[in-house]
Amino acid sequence: MKFETTTAAAEKIKTELLVLPLFSEEKSLPAEAKKIDAATSGAIRKITSGKDFAAETGETFVIVEPKGLAAKRLLLVGLGKRDKFDSDALRSASSAAARLAKKQGLREMTFVGLKIKGVSPELLGKALAEGAVVGTYAYDKHKTDRKKSAALGAIRVITPHAKAVKTGGAEGLITGRCVNMARELVTDPANIATPAYLATVAKKIASTYRMKCRVLGKAEMQKLGMGALLSVAKGSATPPKFIVLEHNPKGAKETVVIIGKGLTFDAGGISLKPSKGLAEMKGDMAGGAAALAIMEGVGALKLKRRVIGLIPASENMPGGNATRPGDVVKSMAGKTVEVLNTDAEGRLLLAEALTYAERYKPDAVFDFATLTGSCAATLAHLATGIFGSNERLIEIVKDAQTDTGERVWQLPLWDEHREAMKSEIADLRNISDNFGAGASTAAGFLSFFAEKYPWVHMDIAGSSGVPKLHRGFAKGPVGAPVRLMLNLLKNKPLK
């Protein structure tokens, strides 16, 4: 998709779709809309004062062959109430416009770039580009009868700030593409998106952006003592992989490690999950998909910070060789773990990656995982739960959510949560004994393996997908927390 700007008058632009974003409950039209209203003999004011268009966020109203305009169609799209506006409303508006354009087979659309308080020209461009890219995403590669339709090839913005809007638009196209990459990996069936497949994706990223890539197999993991990870993989005929991607730009002064849980299918192991919803467990690698997509973005954006991506990848299946509830395994850190529930496997994968991260002497470590139903129950799909050992780093994450459309909410990680994870027969156990606070005790378990650096854990069990159209995203995976992390890695100093 191309991103362009123009300074031409909106009423004179020849375009397949002229998009005019509007706020709801406004007594007067913005300056940019008044000229369009005058050219259409008051059509805009008539529509907004009626009951057909309330300008709620993402709401649309189409006028075909509008009189007085050179555009073939005029699309009014809502931004919601001005006092509740944020940049995500722009993304949602652009997403709605792009979906409509795609449905109608249009190849390009032109946005009227409103001057909005608190929205810089660069942010305007970025939000509109991201929205258009995620709004046109569809997963149909396994449909044999899929219809070939014209792709939306260009988004244009009418603005006097061409340079800044273009800069933001270029970044938004990359971010949107990375988000869609994560969405596709999560949607891919587990017989395709295996640990080996994730490794292939990592190698492609490394080749494209001249990164280092190393993929550890079972023998290498055994040599390193990754008994916790290997215990998860024991029941599956599909070999596990431990994927390492290194972005090492010259002159980098900070090192960040990102870790994504790559559980490509989770049957629960011997602690077998119920059949209802089991097909969705192909998405238990959403953290790993996000980590790969973030590394893609790191390369595409040519970030100057050293970034290491770690993806422990495995299946969790029942089988004659599977780990039994009550077994004790030894991790790379030397800590022993009593596995009381084999369905609490994600923390075992992350424990090994958190230990492996120590070799990089990182300034910060972030992990992402669809880890607990507890977090999903608490925050639903509306926010990512965050926990950590360093309050300053947590505040950086909170700051990085601004203008990205991705919410985070800090949940407690107290000494009691850590104590609840200590075992009577081993160093730790992988679930607490009816303690409750499942998201916090899971973070408490991880904290024992993240004691040598500043660390933030992100539980995306709820925020990794949406149950219906929400904030510009169609039902399904949304690529959390790709937008937030790319913003953090690009713009937020750690020291």
CATH of the domain at 132: 3.40.220.10
| The predicted structure's pLDDT at residue 381 | 97
| The predicted structure's pLDDT at residue 146 | 74
91 given a catalytic annotation: no
Identify the active-site residue in 347, 429, 471, 483. 347
**Residues 188 and 239 placed together within one structural domain of the fold:** yes
**Residues 92 and 187 placed together within one structural domain of the fold:** no
| The predicted structure's pLDDT at residue 149 | 63
Q: What is the mean pLDDT of residues 403-422?
A: 97
* Distance spanning both ends of the chain, measured CA to CA: 36
Average pLDDT of the chain?
97
pLDDT at 155 over 90: yes
Does any domain span residue 96? Answer: yes
Indicate left, alpha or beta for 158 from its phi (over 0: left) and psi (-120 to 50: alpha).
beta
DSSP string, 287-311: HHHHHHHHHHHHHHTT-SSEEEEEE
**Residues 255 and 287 placed together within one structural domain of the fold:** yes
Percent of residues, the chain, with pLDDT higher than 70: 99
Q: Which residues contact 218 (CB under 8 A, 6 or more apart)?
A: 230, 233, 239, 240
Q: Which residues contact 13 (CB under 8 A, 6 or more apart)?
A: 6, 70, 71, 110, 158
Q: Which residues contact 371 (CB under 8 A, 6 or more apart)?
A: 261, 346, 347, 350, 439, 442, 457, 459, 460, 461
Domain boundary among 158, 191, 210: 158
Tell me the C-alpha distance between 156 and 247, whole Å.
33
Tokens of 320: 């004659």
Domain boundary among 109, 128, 158: 158
**Residues 145 and 274 placed together within one structural domain of the fold:** no
- Looking at per-residue confidence, does 433 or 310 come out higher? 310
Name the pLDDT band for 433 (thresholds 50, 70, 90): confident
* Per-residue model confidence as pLDDT tens digits over 55-112: 999 999 999 999 999 999 999 999 999 999 999 999 999 999 999 999 999 999 999 9
336: exposed, middle or buried (Cβ count in 10 Å: 0-12, 13-18, 19+): middle
Domain boundary among 127, 158, 189: 158
Q: Using alpha carbons only, what angle is made at residue 223 by residues 217 and 228, rounded to the nearest 5 degrees?
A: 75
Does any domain span residue 166? Answer: no
**Residues 146 and 189 placed together within one structural domain of the fold:** no
273 given a catalytic annotation: yes
Q: Using alpha carbons only, what angle is made at residue 374 by residues 458 and 259, rounded to the nearest 5 degrees?
A: 25
Identify the active-site residue in 81, 203, 273, 304. 273
pLDDT at 321 over 70: yes
* Per-residue model confidence as pLDDT tens digits over 128-137: 999 999 999 9
Q: What is the mean pLDDT of residues 16-36?
A: 95
Give the number of other CB atoms < 10 A from CB of residue 209.
17
Does any domain span residue 405? Answer: yes
Does any domain span residue 235? Answer: yes
**Residues 213 and 338 placed together within one structural domain of the fold:** yes
Name the pLDDT band for 410 (thresholds 50, 70, 90): very high
Q: What is the mean pLDDT of residues 234-255?
A: 97
Q: Which domain holds residue 27?
A: 2-158
Place of tokens 């509008």: 66
pLDDT at 213 over 80: yes
DSSP 422: B
**Residues 220 and 330 placed together within one structural domain of the fold:** yes
Tally of domains in the chain: 2
Tell me the C-alpha distance between 296 and 301, whole Å.
9
Domain at 418, CATH number? 3.40.630.10
Does any domain span residue 171? Answer: no
**Residues 188 and 139 placed together within one structural domain of the fold:** no
**Residues 451 and 372 placed together within one structural domain of the fold:** yes
Does any domain span residue 365? Answer: yes
**Residues 361 and 481 placed together within one structural domain of the fold:** yes
Does any domain span residue 474? Answer: yes
**Residues 372 and 448 placed together within one structural domain of the fold:** yes
Does any domain span residue 169? Answer: no
| The predicted structure's pLDDT at residue 408 | 98
pLDDT at 485 over 70: yes
* Per-residue model confidence as pLDDT tens digits over 382-407: 999 999 989 999 999 999 999 999 99
**Residues 79 and 189 placed together within one structural domain of the fold:** no
